[in-house]
Structure 1
Amino acid sequence: MTHALGSGKSRLWLASAAGALAIGLTSAASAQEVQAAAADEAVEGGIGEIVVTAQKRDQSVQDVGITMSVLSSEALANGGVTSVTDITGMVPNVQANYGAGQVAFNVRGIGTNEFSANLDSPIAVNLDEVYLSKTFMTGLLLFDVDRVEVLKGPQGTLFGRNATGGTVNFFSRRPQAEFGAGANVSYDNYRTVRSEAYVTGPLGGDFSARLSGLYVNQDKGYYRNLTLDRREGEEKKWALRGQVAWDNGVTNALLTVNAGRQWGTLQPYEGVGIFTPESLADGAPVLCAPYAAGNATAGDPGCVRGTDGLYPGDDDPYTSNNGRLHTVKNKSLGTTLRIEHDLGESTLTSLTSYQHFRRMQHEVSDGSPLETLDVDYYNRINQFTQEVRLTSSGERTWNYVVGAYYEHDDYRNGDYLTVGYGAAPGYYSPFTQKVDALALFFHNDVALTDTLGLTAGVRYSREKVSFDGGTYAGIGRTGSPIRPSTIVATLAEANESRTDDAATFKVGIEWKPVINSASVDKLMLFANASTGFRSGSYNGEFVGSPEALTSLAPEKITAYEAGWKSILFGRSLLFNASIYHYKFTDGFINVDSTTSPIPITINAANISTYGVEFDLQWQPVEQLNFGMGGGWLQSKIDSDISTGGASLKGNRTVQSPRWTYNAQATFTQPLGNDLELALTGDANYRSAQYFETTNSPNSLEPGYWLVNARLALKGPDDRWSVGFFAKNLTKTTYRTYVNDLAAFGFLLNIHGAPRTYGVSASFKL
C-alpha cells in the first residue's frame, strides 16, 4: 500500500519553500538541529553566553529564533538528573511517559502513549547527532554528558525523521588534548551506588582519547512485594563509551564505541480493581462506585480485579502483589564515525553510525499474585544511519547547509501475552519491520540588513516500511526469548510494504533592533512557520483480526511560532518568551477493538494546540543564580473519533497539563582557603493531566509539585566536592504511567520515585 503525504499540499509547500530558497530567504532562526555546545565562557558580572550550533555552526542561543532549552552538565548535576525522564522537571511543556521500559517524550501536547515498540515517537531523540528510532533505546545513554538540548516544534528540515513535535538531544563529552580524569559516586537511602568515571588525554601525534563509564547498583528497590516477601524495582546497569579522536588542523575524525547492559527488576504495576466483588462472583460484573467516580484506590475491598477477584489490600503505592517479578535483560552496542574536513569556504561532514539494542522483559500485566495475564517482551533493533552535509564556514551574510541522509532499520518483534502463564491460548506477535529512509535537505539564511534576517529550509524524504508477520494464538512457554510451545491459530498476518513521500519546510524572520538603552543589552524578535511528519508504520501488536492489523499513513503537522529573546540590565537578566499554534492531522491514536486485547492504533486524529512559554534567568549578584520557566498549553482532539462507544472529540491529548512551571536557584558562599559552599534547590509543578485519550476519570492525575535540594562543599577550582542531596523532598505521591484496562477488569498505575536522599562525592585531575 502506497500513500503520498498530502500530495497536492506537499507540492504546494515544496514550491513555496523552493521559491523562498531561490531568493535566499533564510536567517539564523531555524534551530533545527540545535547541538548546543552549552558554552561556559561567562561574561564577567553577568549571564554568560550559551553557544549552539543550530545551523551546524556556532551561534549564541540568543541569536536563534526558536524556543529551546539547553541544560549544561552543571545544571544536570545540580538538578540531580540521573535518568532521561528527570529532565522534564527542568523544561516547561515537556513530559515523559514511562511504561514497560519505554520512554516516550511529549512536547507541547505532541507525543505518544502507544503500546507497540515498533511505532516511532514523534519526538526525536538524538545522541551526538545520531537518531535513536525506538523508545526503548534511551536507558543507557545518560552519563558523561556535556549537555542536553530540547527543541520545540517541528525540526524536520535539518533533523528529519520523526521530529514532528520536537527533539531531545544528548551530547557526550569529547576527548581532550591534555590529560584529565575524574569520577563521581553517590549512595542513597535505597542502597543505590551510582558512579561515573572518565579518563582522557593525548595518545601521541594527532590522536587523543576518552574512556568513560557508568555503573548503577540499587540493592533496595522502591517497592515491597507482599506476595514474594522481597523488595522489587532495583535499578542495575552499566555502560561504557570509548572515543578516539584525530585532528591535523584540516581534517578531524572521532570514532565512538558504546556498550551497555541493564538487568534486575523493573517497577511493578499497581493493579487496582474496578468491579464489586458480589457482581463479579455472580458473573455479571458491575463497576464499583470509587472506580465509576474516578477515585479508585488499591485499598478498597469493594473494588476487585476482574481477572482474579482480588484487591491489593492497601493504599501504599510502593507495595506490589505480583506472583512473579518484573525482570529486564537489555543490552546495547553501537559505533559512530564522525569525519569533518575543512574546505576553507565550507566544511564537509560525514556521520556514520550503527546501533544495536535488544530489549527482553517480563511483566505481570495485571499486578496480580495469580498467573492470569503476563507479557514477555522481545524487541531487537539494528539501525544504520549515514549523513553527509556541506556547511558554510564562519558567520556570513549568507549561510547554508546542504546534505543527504539515509537510514536502514531492521526491527524484530517477539512479544508474547500469556493467559494462565501459557495454560490457555494467548497472543504471540512475531514480526519484522524494516525501514529504508532517504532524505535530501537544504537550509540557508541571509542577513538582509544588520538587523533583519530571513530563513528558509526544505527537506524531501522518501521512506519504505515493510512488515512481515502478525499475531497468532499460542499455548505453553518455551525458549529464550519466550515463545509459545504450540501455535493453535493465526489471528492476523501480513507481508506488505508502504512507501511514503514527504516534503517539509521552514520559513522564518528575525529582527534584532539596536536599542540605545542601558537596560537592554540584546533583543531579538522572531516568527516562523514549519511543517513536519511522523513516519508511517503498522499496528501489529497483539491484533486479534486482520482488520486490526492496520497500515498507518504518516502524521503531519503545521506549526506557527513567534516570540522574543532578550538580555537586560547589564547582562544580569535573560528573559525569553514565545507563543505557538499547531495543527496536527492523521495522528496515530488508540481506540478499542472488539477483537484485540489492547487498544489498536489507527490514523484518525486531528489535534490543535495553542500555548505560551517563558524562560527567565537572573543573576542579581555574583553568588546567586536564579532561573525559572513556565508554560500554558491547550491541546485537544478535533476529530469525531469513537472508542468504547464514546467520542474523543474535544478531549485533551495525553500528558498535556495546562500549566507547567519550574524554578531553580544556586547560592555559593566562599569559606576561605579556596573552599566554597554551594546550596542548590529546584521545584517543578504540573497541573492535572490525562494519561488516556478517553480522558477517563481514573486516568486523570491531579496537579503536583516536586522539590529537590543539594548542599555541597567544593574544593579549589572544583577539583573535588562532597555533598548531600534529597529528591522529592516533600514525599509527593504521583503517577508516571496509567493504563485504564476496563475490558480486562483492572486499572494499572506506576508511581514516581519516593523521597530519596544520600551523599555524593566527586573529584577531577
Structure 2
Amino acid sequence: MTRHAPHALAAALALAFAAPAYAQSAEPVEPGKLQTITVTAERRTENIKDVPSAVFTLSGEKLDVINSSGQDVRMLSGRVPSLNIESSFGRAFPRFYIRGYGNTDFRSNASQPVSLVYDDIVQENPILKGFPVFDLAAVEVLAGPQGSLFGRNTPAGVVKFDSVRPSKKQDGYVSASFGTYGTTNVEGAMNLPLGGAWAARVSAQSQHRDDWVTNTFPNAVSPKLEGYDDRAIRLQALYAPAQDFQALFNLHGRALQGSARLFRANVIEKGTNRLVAGFDPERITTDGKNHQELESAGGSMRLRIGLGGGLTLHSITGYESVNAYSRGDIDGGFGAAFLPSGGGPGLIPFPSETAGGIHGHRQISQELRLESASSGGIAWQAGLYYFDEKYSIDSFDYNSLGGGVQTGLTTSTQGNKAWAAFGSVNFALSKDLSLRTGLRYTRDKKDFSTVAVQGTVNTTAGLTASTNDGKLSWDASGTYALSPSLNAYARVATGFRGSSIQAASAFGPMTQAGPETITSYEAGLKGDLLDKRARLSVGVFRYDVKNQQLTAVGGNANVTSLISAAKTVGQGVEFNLDAYVTPQLLVTVGGSVNDTTIKDPSLSLPKCAQCTMTDPPVAVGAATFYSINGNSLPQAPKYTMNLTARYGMPMGPGAELFVFTDWVYRSKVNFFLYESVEFIGPSLLEGGVRVGYNWGNGKYEAALFGRNITNQVRAVGGVDFNNLVGFINDPRTWGAQFKMTF
C-alpha cells in the first residue's frame, strides 16, 4: 500500500455489504421496569450499582437512535455526564475528555489521558480511536483514574466498547437509513452456523454522505467538500469446546475516504464569539486542496482458561495498524494580503496548506491476567501487561499560490514500549460492606527522531529524544449497602501518563513534557428506586493533576509546543436518572458540573494572532505574554446535560407506535489554553427526534428521524494561526430508517 492511497481494504469491505446482515434480538423486559445493567468496569461482570466508581453506559435503542444519521464516534459526546469528544480532523482523529480532563494536541503521536478500549484492546494512537460504532453490546464510560486494571494512559478514564459476541443462536439484524445530503447508514450483523464447538459472527457498516459544501473559489482544486465514504467490518469466531476453555478471535478493518475538516477563514466576528453575519455553512472559498483517507486493520485473540481450584487465566493478544493522510487549507481562504489582488474572505496574512500522515504503524499488546473466584468473601486478580508500538509521522507543506506543489516534508519516527504488573483484591467484610484495592507498576519508554526530508527544520533542541518513566499507581474504594437496592460508595485513586515528545518544525524546536500524575477523590450513591421503575446515580468528585501535559497552539509565534502545568484541579458533581414515568413513558436525564482550573503562576503564552485577549498581560523579557494561571482547561464545558424520552403506544398484538427524542447541551468552552473573546465556543444545544412503528414483536421497525433539529450552527473549534479560522458542528439532517431483526 502506498503512503497516500489506502484503498486496498475498500474492495474487501464493499464485499461485506453484498449479502444481507443480521444481529441478536433483545431479551424480554417486564413492561414499566428497568432492566438490570451489568458492566465489566473492573474486569468482572457485575451489577453497575455495586461498582464503587462513576460508570455510565449506553446501549440498545439509544445507540441506534444517535447513530441513525451516519455520524462518527463524536456522536457519543455529552450522552453521559462529563464526556466530551471533539476533533479538528473530522472523522479520523477524535479527542476524548472526561470531567474536563483531556488533550487538545492534534499531532499523530499525541497521547491522551482518556483511553479507548475496544473489545479489550487498547487503541492507543488517536487515529485508531475513530473506529466506527456498530453492533455493540454496550459502551461503558469509566471516570478516571483507572490505573490499576487497564493498560494504557487512563488518568482521566476509559471509554470501553464491547461488541456483541458470536453465539450459536441463528439471529441477526440489518438496518438502513437514508437522509439529507445523500446520507446513508447501512449496518448489520449475523451469527454464522459453524457447528460443533464453534460460533461466528460477521458485522459490517457502510456510511456515506454527499459533498454538500460548494467551494466558490474559481477553478477550485476541491470544488465540492464535506462528503465521506466510511466502511468497516468485524469478523469474530468463538471456540468453546468445554466449560473451562474459550477462545474468541477478532479481525476488523476500516476504510475512509472523504473531506478533511473544513477550516473557514475569519468565520468568527472580531470582538465576539459569534459567526460572521451572513455566514452560509454550505459555502466556502478556499484555494487549497482538501482530502482525507485512512485505512486500519487489526485482530485479537482472547483466551479464557479454567485452571481448577477457582482460578481462571485470561490471555488477551492484540494487533492494530493504521495508515492515514489528511490535507487541508489551514488559512481557510484564498490568496494573501501581500498579493496585488489580496486574499479573502477577510484577512489572509499569508497562505498555509499542510498535510499530516502516519505510515508504517503497528501496535502489539499482550495481557495475562489470573482471576480467582470469590471465596470466603475475598476475590482477587493479578497480571502482566506488555505494549509495543512503532510508526512514522509525515508533515507536508504545500504552496497554494503555486498550484499546490509540495514544498516541505518532515518525517518523525516514534517507538514506544511499556510493561506493567498489576493486581487487585475485593473484600466482602459483611453482607453490607465491601472494600476494594488495586496496585499497578508501569514502565514506559519512548524513542523519537525527526528528519527533514524536504525543506528545513529547527534544530535548537535537537532532533532526537528518549524517555524512560516508571510509576506506581493505586486505588482504594468501598461500597456500603444502605438498603437492598441502594448503595453508597467512596473511592481514592491515582493515575499516571508517560512523557510526551513533539517534533521540531520549520517554525519551532522539538519540545517535551514529563510524566503527569493524578490523585482523585469521589463519593456517591447508586441504586434502583420505586420497585425498579427508576435508577439513580449521583456523585461528587475532585482531582489534582501534577505536571499536566498541555499543548500551546499557534499564536503570533506560529509555534505549537508542549508545556507542563505545575497543577490543575477539577471538581464537580454528576448525576444520571432513568425512570418510567408511566409504563409507556421512559425518561432519562443526566448532567454534570465540571469546574477545572490551571494553577501555575509561571505559565504564560504569546498573544493569539488576531483575537482579543482577556488574560492579564505579563512581561517576558522585552515581549508581552499573557498569563493562563486560573484559566479552565480547554474543551472543558462547566455544565453538560442530556435527556431522552420515549413514549410507546401499543397498536395491537406485537405492534407499537413510538416517539423518541434526545437532547444534549454543553456550556461554553475555551478552544485554547488562553482566554480570548473570539475563541470561546458558545454554548451548544442539539436535539433529535424519531417517530416510528414496530411490529412482529419488535422484528420490524420503520422510523422517520431528525438530527440537530433546531439547526444550531456553532463554531466548535478554531485554528490560532494567522486569522480567525474556525470549524462548525454537523448540519441538521432528516431521514428515514428501516430495521429488521432475525
Give 1:217 shift.
2.0
1:428-463 C-alpha deviation (Å, 9 max, x unpaired): 431111011000000111011111111110000001
CA distance in 1, matches of 2:561, 2:460: 14
For the Cα contact (< 8 Å) 1:404–1:438, is it kept in 2?
yes
> What amino acid does structure 1 have at the position aligned with 2:226?
G
Deviates more, 1:89-98 or 1:525-534: 89-98
For the Cα contact (< 8 Å) 1:41–1:48, is it kept in 2?
no
CA distance in 2, matches of 1:80, 1:385: 30
State yes or no: 1:92 paired with 2:70: no
For the Cα contact (< 8 Å) 1:733–1:752, is it kept in 2?
yes
> What amino acid does structure 1 have at the position aligned with 2:82?
N
Q: Which position in structure 1 is the counterpart of 2:72? A: 83
Give 1:625 shift.
0.8
- Which secondary structure does the structure 2 equivalent of 1:86 belong to? helix
State yes or no: 1:354 paired with 2:354: no
Q: Name the CA shift for 1:142/1:351 in 2 (closer, same or farther; >3 Å).
A: same
2:355 equivalent among 351, 363, 376: 376
Q: Which position in structure 2 is the counterpart of 1:502? A: 471
> What amino acid does structure 1 have at the position aligned with 2:59?
S
Q: Which position in structure 1 is the counterpart of 2:672? A: 692
Q: Name the CA shift for 1:330/1:337 in 2 (closer, same or farther; >3 Å).
A: same
Q: Which position in structure 1 is the counterpart of 2:605? A: 643
CA distance in 1, matches of 2:284, 2:206: 27
CA distance in 1, matches of 2:557, 2:296: 32
- Which secondary structure does the structure 2 equivalent of 1:406 belong to? strand
Q: Which position in structure 2 is the counterpart of 1:133? A: 124
For the Cα contact (< 8 Å) 1:236–1:264, is it kept in 2?
yes
Deviates more, 1:200-209 or 1:720-729: 200-209
Deviates more, 1:450-459 or 1:68-77: 68-77
State yes or no: 1:662 paired with 2:642: yes
Alignment of 1:333-482 (within 5 A): 333-344=297-308, 345-370=310-335, 372-380=351-359, 381-393=361-373, 397-420=377-400, 428-470=409-451, 472=452
Q: Name the CA shift for 1:488/1:629 in 2 (closer, same or farther; >3 Å).
A: closer
Give 1:405 shift.
0.4
1:465-491 C-alpha deviation (Å, 9 max, x unpaired): 001225x4xxxxxxxxxx74x669867
Give 1:78 shift.
2.9
1:206-261 C-alpha deviation (Å, 9 max, x unpaired): 0111111111221243x222223943100211111111110012211011111111
- Which secondary structure does the structure 2 equivalent of 1:732 belong to? coil
1:498-551 C-alpha deviation (Å, 9 max, x unpaired): 10001100011211133xxxxxx5111111110111121202152635xx3123
Give 1:387 shift.
0.5
For the Cα contact (< 8 Å) 2:326–2:357, is it kept in 1?
yes
1:704 equivalent among 660, 672, 684: 684
CA distance in 1, matches of 2:175, 2:267: 44
- Which secondary structure does the structure 2 equivalent of 1:464 belong to? strand
Q: Which position in structure 2 is the counterpart of 1:326? A: 290
Give 1:325 shift.
3.8
Q: Name the CA shift for 1:155/1:421 in 2 (closer, same or farther; >3 Å).
A: farther
CA distance in 1, matches of 2:25, 2:567: 36
> What amino acid does structure 1 have at the position aligned with 2:559?
I
State yes or no: 1:107 paired with 2:71: no
Q: Name the CA shift for 1:40/1:52 in 2 (closer, same or farther; >3 Å).
A: farther
CA distance in 2, matches of 1:295, 1:154: 34
- Which secondary structure does the structure 2 equivalent of 1:138 belong to? helix
> What amino acid does structure 1 have at the position aligned with 2:161?
F
Give 1:318 shift.
3.6
State yes or no: 1:683 paired with 2:673: no
For the Cα contact (< 8 Å) 2:57–2:80, is it kept in 1?
no
Q: Which position in structure 2 is the counterpart of 1:53? A: 40
What stretches of structure 2 of length at least 5 have no aligned partner? 1-23, 337-350, 607-624
Give 1:704 shift.
2.5
> What amino acid does structure 2 have at the position aligned with 1:727?
R
> What amino acid does structure 1 have at the position aligned with 2:334?
P
Normalized against structure 2, the TM-score is what?
0.87
For the Cα contact (< 8 Å) 1:690–1:700, is it kept in 2?
yes
Give 1:624 shift.
1.5
State yes or no: 1:294 paired with 2:272: yes
CA distance in 1, matches of 2:82, 2:482: 29
Q: Which position in structure 1 is the counterpart of 2:20? A: none
State yes or no: 1:603 paired with 2:596: no
**What number of residue pairs does the alignment pair up?**
675
Alignment of 1:155-554 (within 5 A): 155-221=146-212, 223-227=213-217, 228=220, 230-248=223-241, 249-272=243-266, 291=270, 293-295=271-273, 297-299=275-277, 314-344=278-308, 345-370=310-335, 372-380=351-359, 381-393=361-373, 397-420=377-400, 428-470=409-451, 472=452, 484=454, 493-514=462-483, 522-540=485-503, 542=505, 544-545=507-508, 548-554=509-515
Q: Which position in structure 2 is the counterpart of 1:517? A: none
> What amino acid does structure 1 have at the position aligned with 2:415?
K
Q: Name the CA shift for 1:60/1:39 in 2 (closer, same or farther; >3 Å).
A: farther
What stretches of structure 1 of length at least 5 have no aligned partner? 1-36, 275-289, 300-313, 473-482, 515-520
Deviates more, 1:580-589 or 1:420-429: 420-429
For the Cα contact (< 8 Å) 2:553–2:720, is it kept in 1?
no
State yes or no: 1:629 paired with 2:624: no
For the Cα contact (< 8 Å) 2:399–2:407, is it kept in 1?
yes
Q: Name the CA shift for 1:421/1:247 in 2 (closer, same or farther; >3 Å).
A: farther
> What amino acid does structure 1 have at the position aligned with 2:119?
D
> What amino acid does structure 2 have at the position aligned with 1:77?
D
1:120 equivalent among 107, 111, 115: 111
For the Cα contact (< 8 Å) 1:38–1:52, is it kept in 2?
no
> What amino acid does structure 2 have at the position aligned with 1:202?
P
- Which secondary structure does the structure 1 equivalent of 2:335 belong to? coil
Normalized against structure 1, the TM-score is what?
0.84
CA distance in 2, matches of 1:421, 1:493: 32
Deviates more, 1:327-336 or 1:565-574: 565-574
> What amino acid does structure 2 have at the position aligned with 1:134?
N
CA distance in 2, matches of 1:63, 1:488: 54
- Which secondary structure does the structure 2 equivalent of 1:377 belong to? strand
1:628-660 C-alpha deviation (Å, 9 max, x unpaired): 001111101101201010000011111122211
For the Cα contact (< 8 Å) 2:267–2:725, is it kept in 1?
no
